Amino acid sequence: MALFVALGGASYAAIKIPKNSVGAAQIKKNAVTSTKVKDRSLLAKDFKAGQLPTGKKGNAGSRGPSDGYVGNRNPTPLLDLTASFQTVTTSQQLPAGSYIAVARVNLVSGGASGIVCSFGDDAVQSLSLGAGTQMPLTFASGFKLNEAGKITAGCQRASGSVSVAQSSVVATRVESLAVATTN
């Protein structure tokens, strides 16, 4: 009988221990070892300052070529488009390099047809606008400048009356530029 109580008593006690009744006071010093702690369950905040090893500090490296440039044009009075291709907005002067750029042209029409605007490889062909129509156009393209210069968006119209109210170019310099063409 004593053997039965001795063997069964431990199991009985384990089942009847109330939840959250074992705390730091009940755990003997050095009772919790590495093999009893689940791997990757501790966080850096679980350790005192200086207990965790730190890695070598890396080199700062050189600054990346991610400069941004903005050129805005708010013509007063409005810029009237002619039948000849004309510059409606440019970037500010840019150093030589590769750029991803976006242009925005806000058109105000008195009734026009055959409007063509382009920006690098991006173009709108034969756009027609009714009288009183306002149309924002947004273009995006990649540019490689071999020497300092500007990136230009331009427009023209075949007939009627159309003006540019506002326009802008935002250019971001990038390390390299790869252009993919899909069909």
DSSP 128-147: EEEEEEEEEEEEEEEEEESS
Rounded average pLDDT over 60-83: 82
Rounded average pLDDT over 89-106: 93
Tokens of 26: 């009940």
Domain edges within the chain: 68-174
Tokens of 158: 């075949």
State residue 106's pLDDT score: 94
The gap from C-alpha 88 to its chain's centroid, in whole angstroms, comes to 28
State residue 12's pLDDT score: 53
Q: Which DSSP symbol is given to 49?
A: T
pLDDT digits (tens, 9 = 90+) for 18-50: 777 777 777 788 878 888 888 888 888 888 888
Closest among 132, 133, 123 to 155, alpha carbons compared: 123
Identify the residue with better confidence: 85 or 10: 85
- From residue 171, alpha-carbon distances to 81, 94, 118, 167, 177 in Å are 24, 9, 16, 14, 13
State residue 47's pLDDT score: 83
Rounded average pLDDT over 111-140: 91
CATH code of the domain made up of 68-174? 2.60.120.760
Q: Length of the chain in residues, anyone? A: 183
Tokens of 102: 């976006």
Which of 25-34, 80-89, 93-102 is least confident?
25-34
- From residue 55, alpha-carbon distances to 41, 58, 61, 116, 123 in Å are 21, 9, 17, 58, 51
Closest among 100, 116, 117 to 170, alpha carbons compared: 100
- The amino acid at 114: G
- From residue 68, alpha-carbon distances to 29, 151, 163, 168 in Å are 60, 13, 28, 13
Quickly state the pLDDT bin for 9 (edges 50, 70, 90): low
